[in-house]
Amino acid sequence: MCGAAGCGKTLFAMTFLAEGVLKYGEHGVLVSFEESAEDLAANVASLGYDVNALIEQKKLAIDHVKIDPTVIEETGDYDLEGLFVRLDYAIRSVNAKRVVLDTLEALFASFPNPVLLRAELRRLFDWLKERDVTAIVTAERGAGGPGQLTRHGIEEYVSDCVILLDNRVENQVSTRRLRIVKYRGSAHGTNEYPFLIDTTGISVLPITSAGLSHVTSNETTSTGIDDLDGMLGAGGYFVGSSVLVSGLAGTGKTTFAAKFVEARCALGERTLWFAFEESPEQIVRNMHSVGLDLAQYLGKSLRIESARPSFFGLEMHLARMARDIELFKPTAVVVDPISALRGVDAEVHATLLRLVDLLKAHGITAIFTSLTSTDQAPSVDDRSISSLMDTWISLSHMETNGERNRLVYVLKSRGMDHSNQVREYKISNEGIAMVPAYVGARGVLTGSARLAQEVQERDEIAAREEAVQQKVRELARRRKVVELQVAELQSTLEAEAAELEALITQRDERERTRDADRVDMARVRRSKQ
């Protein structure tokens, strides 16, 4: 294992020994040519390993070989017999299966014969193989040509496996990388892999491990906003999907993400929030103003990891997130915002692509927020990022009547039918509330314009209702007049009918009287005859 100063050779080697004891029960030996056992124990304590305890339990042995020219005198041909004796004693004392030699150059600092040096190195490695131990030998990075990895350029040829560590600085940001130069008898990745050293240990991200073999799900999970669930045909986001929430500053991107987080935490689902602009305390405080109490979930189902984008390089951010995902095992992740990541567009895109693939491989539903530079059509950068996303929710402002109102629109949502409406929404101390879509003669109306139009329409409806009621009253009045006229005419008609009936009766009476008189006159005449 070779590399320049500060790249983490000793920490890697100590991790190899400590994890061997703790996870696999394999005891280890470390022969140090530079640092004492006390210094090594203090340095490795930052990774969470108690080296002194392992030494006391006879599970780990550290032998500090102090190379001091004032007390060492070279006589005869140079060889490593003295090292073999000390190594053999240390291996037998703890029954070791793992050995570390750190750093081997100290033995050959003043040794000029490369032929004998190579022979002794080969003899050392053969001796270690005979003891059936797995050994890591650390070496300093060489200053020779591009093909020379170590100082002498010999160690990499006699070793079975060569791991090159690098601590590279680009744009004033340091990134540690690991590359397996060779590994005899094994197919191995040849790319550079970023790795992270912090209080939880060493994390290596295999950037080629992600792909398109992840399993998809038809199950949905709520957005945390009922009306937004309704705008998505499936009733929410698909589980394991990636969602982009983009918009201008102040449109509530973080609030939309927080509503999703609250819904997940309320169900007891683990949620991991990566923040690049706000601290956990600031996020909790700000979300409390919109009715979200995230503090009750912190340290339980919610974990917020904050880091400035400039603190790490893109690969280190990716390694850190991959490590946290592996440790916390969340079902939902928020990255807020991805627009804070700085670098070459192609590198940012590649980083997000690997992150999306990593999340999909674990079946994690992810929300990515992004700050856009315009409220008009999405930029080319936005579209290139959105191609990685399954659902894209666009938030925007509309300025009317001297005020700005917020609008939400589902640009796309793969695998489901979704609303094509632009909906107004309000953010208050009660959260996010969607306003029913209102389309007027001048298009979609929002804010005071919508309220004014609603008032105008209510007035017009009231006026029409009043006109109808007035017409009804007029008709009723006229109906009464007509009914009175009809009643009067009916009365007149009945009176005329009665008069006619009387006349008919009188006529009939006269006719009967006349007939009677005729009968009487006829009777009188017959009597006179």
- Cα separation, 324 vs 103, in Å, equals 32
Cβ proximity of 108 and 71 under 8 Å: no
Peptide linkage before 69 cis (omega within 30 of 0)? no
Pull the structure tokens for residue 109: 């600092």
User: How far apart, in Å, are the Cα atoms of 30 and each of 33, 41, 97, 103, 117?
Assistant: 10, 12, 11, 10, 22
What pLDDT does residue 144 have? 53
Is the pLDDT at 380 greater than 50? The verdict is no
- Residue from 374, 326, 368, 324 nearest 349 by CA: 368
From 240, 210, 220, select the one nearest 360 (Cα to Cα): 240
At 442 the pLDDT is 56
Q: What Å distances lie between residue 364 and 1, 114, 234, 264, 300, CA to CA?
A: 35, 54, 18, 12, 18
Q: What is the mean pLDDT of residues 482-497?
A: 88
Q: How many degrees, rounded to 5, is the angle at CA 421 between CA 417 and CA 423?
A: 125
> Which residues are registered as beta bridge partners of 237?
221
Q: What are the structural domains of the chain?
A: 2-204 (3.40.50.300), 220-437 (3.40.50.300)
What 3-state DSSP class applies to 208?
coil
CA distance 246 to 395: 6
Q: CA of 299: how far to CAs of 245, 330, 423, in Å?
A: 26, 13, 36
Q: What is the pLDDT of residues 333-369, one digit of tens each?
A: 999 999 888 777 777 888 888 889 889 989 999 999 9
Q: Which of 285-289, 444-448, 456-460, 472-476 has the lowest mean pLDDT?
A: 444-448
Q: Residue 3 has what DSSP assignment?
A: E
Q: How far apart are CA 463 and CA 66, in angstroms?
A: 102
297 vs 301: CA distance, rounded Å: 6
Question: Would you state the pLDDT for residue 399?
Answer: 76
Q: What is the pLDDT of residues 94-148, one digit of tens each?
A: 999 999 998 877 766 555 666 777 777 788 888 988 999 999 998 887 655 455 5
Q: Is 251 helix (H, G, I), strand (E, B) or coil?
A: coil
| Residue whose token pair is 């006390």 | 38
Q: Which of 169, 213, 163 is nearest to 190 (CA)?
A: 163
Residue 252 and residue 395: Cα distance in Å, rounded? Answer: 8
pLDDT band at 271 (very low <50, low <70, confident <90, very high): very high
Contact 33, 65 (CB under 8 A): yes
pTM: 0.68
Phi first, then psi: what are they for 9, rounded to 5°? -60, -50
Backbone dihedral region for residue 171 (phi beyond 0: left; psi -120 to 50: alpha; all else: beta): left
Q: Is 235 left (phi over 0), alpha (psi -120 to 50) or beta?
A: left
The alpha-helical segments, DSSP class H, found in 25-161 are 37-44, 51-56, 81-94, 114-130, 155-158
Does the structure show a pLDDT above 50 at 378?
no
Pick the closest to residue 87 from 28, 152, 35 (CA basis): 28
Amino acid at residue number 71? V
**What distances in angstroms separate CA 374 from CA 248, 393, 449, 488, one per listed residue?**
7, 15, 23, 79
Which helix (H) or strand (E) segment holds residue 261: the answer is: helix 253-266
pLDDT in tens, 63-93: 988 766 555 565 556 667 778 888 999 999 9
Say whether pLDDT at 202 is over 60. yes
Res 95: pLDDT: 94
Bridge partners, residue 439, by sequence? 444
